[in-house]
């Protein structure tokens, strides 16, 4: 069984596109609470893979968001608690549940190309995409490497899936600047997640898998 934590279009696609999944919305499991994350693995004790789609990304409607960086006063604590601490909580809960049973599990952290390259302001009509989204997504590869280094001998893998410009919006400005000239197909993200959760990716541990149609290549 694959446990999927979080909401949004990508979570929707993963739930419908992957076999034997259980989707846990934030209203059901608050990933910022380690006890709630642990409860999920006790309840769905047959899980062998987990995908963490934890993303606290301020929206355009937030009064303080999308303003020039030097004008913001947000300290990023809310985003850190969900995107980083929440991902770590789920990883810790999974490992604690799997170790006694000898489960060779796979943890997939949903990252972003904006954890590797800066958001391009030209894609957002000159607006500044909130800095804390990039900063927190950049922390996930370090978390994946840490888990891989400490639990690889136990057969537990942890990787980051980093999509970019996924075709869930009408933001065609991304497509115009992408090497492929298109938005990234949502199915590409689903297929990559399926591969990372499967034995076919055995040996892939502590790394970042980009699904960005070459955005980070140029």
Most confident of 103-112, 127-136, 173-182: 103-112
- Percent of the chain at pLDDT > 70 equals 94
DSSP for residue 153: G
Q: What is the pLDDT of residue 140?
A: 97
pLDDT tens column, 63-72? 456 778 888 7
Residues in the chain: 218
Domains identified in the chain, total number = 1
Work out the average pLDDT over 98-122. 94
Q: Going along the chain, which residue ranges are E strands?
A: 2-5, 21-24, 49-52, 106-110, 157-163, 208-211
Q: Which residues pair with 42 in a beta bridge?
A: none
pLDDT tens column, 14-49? 999 999 999 998 778 999 999 999 999 999 999 999
Give the Cα separation of 205 and 144 in Å (integer): 8
Confidence of residue 83 (pLDDT cuts 50, 70, 90): very high
Q: Which residues of 174-213 are buried (b: 16+ CB within 10 A; e: fewer)?
A: bbeebeeeebbebeebbebbbbbbeeebeeebbebbbbbb
Helices (H), 32-154: 34-43, 77-79, 87-98, 131-151
Sign of the dihedral defined by the CA atoms of residues 49, 209, 11, 68, in that order: positive
Domain extent at residue 81: 2-217
Helix/strand/coil for 56: coil
Q: Which tops the pLDDT comparison, 65 or 60? A: 65
CATH number for the domain including 97? 3.40.50.720
pTM of the model: 0.93
Q: Which tops the pLDDT comparison, 12 or 123? A: 12
Sign of the dihedral defined by the CA atoms of residues 167, 66, 139, 93, in that order: negative
pLDDT tens column, 151-198? 999 999 999 999 988 887 656 778 888 888 888 899 999 999 999 999
């Amino acid at each position: 069984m694959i446990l999927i934590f979080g909401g949004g279009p990508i979570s929707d696609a993963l739930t419908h596109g992957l076999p034997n999944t259980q989707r846990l919305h934030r209203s059901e499991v608050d990933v910022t609470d380690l006890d709630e994350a642990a409860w999920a693995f006790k309840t769905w004790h047959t899980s062998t893979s987990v995908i963490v789609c934890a993303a606290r990304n301020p929206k355009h409607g937030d009064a303080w968001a999308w303003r020039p960086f030097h004008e913001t006063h947000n300290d990023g604590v809310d985003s850190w608690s969900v995107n980083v601490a929440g991902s770590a909580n789920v990883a810790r809960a999974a490992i604690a549940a799997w170790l006694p049973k000898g489960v060779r599990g796979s943890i997939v952290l949903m990252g972003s190309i904006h954890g590797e390259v800066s958001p391009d302001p030209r894609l957002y009509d000159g607006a500044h995409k909130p800095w804390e989204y990039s900063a927190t997504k950049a922390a996930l590869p370090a978390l994946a490497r840490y888990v891989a280094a400490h639990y690889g001998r136990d057969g537990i893998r942890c990787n980051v899936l980093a999509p970019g410009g996924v075709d869930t919006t009408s933001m065609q400005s991304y497509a115009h600047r992408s090497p492929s000239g298109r938005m990234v197909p949502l199915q590409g993200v689903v297929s990559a997640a399926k591969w990372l959760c499967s034995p076919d990716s055995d040996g892939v541990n502590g790394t970042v898998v980009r699904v960005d149609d070459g955005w980070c290549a140029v």
